[in-house]
């Protein structure tokens, strides 16, 4: 039976939309989490490009990487059209510039600073009519917050405001390969509407990139582990074959 209780935000990644029974429920704030090199940024960018191609204004807020470098990497993708950037359908924002503009060039944020940052992001989303947002990474922002309460306040406040505007948001979370749980601070995973875990799986000396939807509010979904490949036509996903495997996040 079709799961049509919530409007969907199609990721445009065929395998993932199948796993999610049609896409991410619109307005959800989801966590894409995993260690480095697992494809988090690539998949998030593809989500935005497909959105922009479908006419949804999409925004990428980069905390650690220069937008120019990201765009340079995207040129290798056949589905990417630089015109999307020229037409402002796809917008890149360097968070460091926002910090400067807001006077937040400090190592630790107060609760007031957190609220100023959230209001600024919400303002940009509202003014530009953004329907898809990626923040890469939420871990880098949370690094400046001094307590779990502040992290909780930040994600809850941001998630609620964005959801009210119908903006579907991906928060990228960086994990150490040895980490337990699904996020660096343990708070992000509890608040997010969805968690997509990306990892590396070792099987007899081979290292496979994997993806698994741990939770997704508002839809039924597969919870199985899949293997993914990052190709010039986008992320492709295949079922993980059963066999003796050792996790190596």
Partner 1 sequence: MGVTANVVSKLEELPSASSIAITTSVNSYFDVLRAIVDVFATRHDLYVFYVTSTIPSKNIENLFGLLGIDSSRVFFVDTISHLMKEASTTNDRYLYIESPTMLEYIMLKVEYLARKYNDKKALVILDSVNSMSIYNGPKIMSEFLHILVTSLRSWDAYMTIIAMKEQNTEEIHSMLNMVCDEIYDAEEGE
Q: Is there a contact between 233 and 79 (Cβ–Cβ < 8 Å)?
A: yes
Beta bridge partners of 244: none
**What's the CA gap between 184 and 191, in Å, rounded?**
13
How far is Cα of residue 239 from the mean position of the Cα atoms in its chain?
22
Residues 186 to 205: which contact partner 1 by CB under 8 A?
203-205
In the list 208, 211, 213, 216, the residue contacting partner 1 (rule: CB under 8 A) is 208
Nearest to 74 by CA among 55, 61, 92: 92
Q: Is 242 in the site for partner 1 (CB under 8 A)?
A: yes
In the list 86, 105, 127, 206, the residue contacting partner 1 (rule: CB under 8 A) is 206
Tell me the closest approach of the beta carbon of residue 78 to partner 1, in angstroms: 8
3-state secondary structure 75-110: CCCCCCCCHHHHCCCEEEEEHHHHHHHHCCCCCCEC
In the list 233, 247, 248, 249, the residue contacting partner 1 (rule: CB under 8 A) is 233
Q: Is there a contact between 104 and 120 (Cβ–Cβ < 8 Å)?
A: no
Measured from the CB atom, the residue of 181 and 239 that comes closer to partner 1 is 239
Q: Is 241 in the site for partner 1 (CB under 8 A)?
A: yes
Tell me the closest approach of the beta carbon of residue 206 to partner 1, in angstroms: 5
Residues 83 to 112: which contact partner 1 by CB under 8 A?
none
Tell me the closest approach of the beta carbon of residue 179 to partner 1, in angstroms: 24
Q: Which residues bind partner 1 (CB under 8 A)?
A: 203-206, 208, 227-229, 231, 233, 236-243
């Amino acid at each position: 039976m079709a799961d049509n209780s919530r409007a969907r935000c199609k990721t445009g990644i065929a395998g993932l939309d199948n796993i999610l029974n049609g896409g991410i429920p619109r307005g959800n704030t989801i966590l894409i989490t995993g260690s480095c090199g697992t494809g988090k940024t690539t998949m998030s960018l593809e989500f935005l490009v497909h959105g922009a191609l479908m006419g949804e204004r999409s925004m990428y807020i980069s905390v650690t990487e220069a937008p120019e470098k990201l765009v340079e990497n995207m040129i290798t993708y056949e589905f990417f059209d630089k015109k999307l950037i020229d037409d402002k359908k796809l917008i890149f924002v360097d968070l460091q510039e926002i910090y400067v503009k807001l006077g937040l060039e400090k190592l630790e944020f107060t609760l007031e600073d957190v609220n100023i940052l959230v209001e600024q992001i919400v303002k940009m989303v509202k003014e530009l009519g953004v329907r898809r947002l990626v923040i890469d990474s939420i871990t880098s922002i949370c690094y400046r917050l001094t307590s779990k309460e502040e992290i909780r306040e930040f994600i809850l406040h941001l998630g609620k405001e964005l959801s009210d505007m119908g903006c579907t948001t991906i928060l990228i979370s960086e994990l150490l390969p040895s980490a337990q749980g699904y996020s660096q601070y343990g708070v992000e995973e509890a608040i997010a509407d969805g968690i997509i875990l990306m990892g590396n799986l070792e099987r007899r000396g081979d290292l496979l990139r994997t993806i698994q939807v741990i939770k997704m509010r508002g839809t039924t979904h597969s919870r199985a582990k899949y293997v993914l490949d990052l190709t010039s036509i986008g992320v492709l996903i295949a079922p993980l074959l059963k066999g003796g495997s050792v996790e190596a996040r």
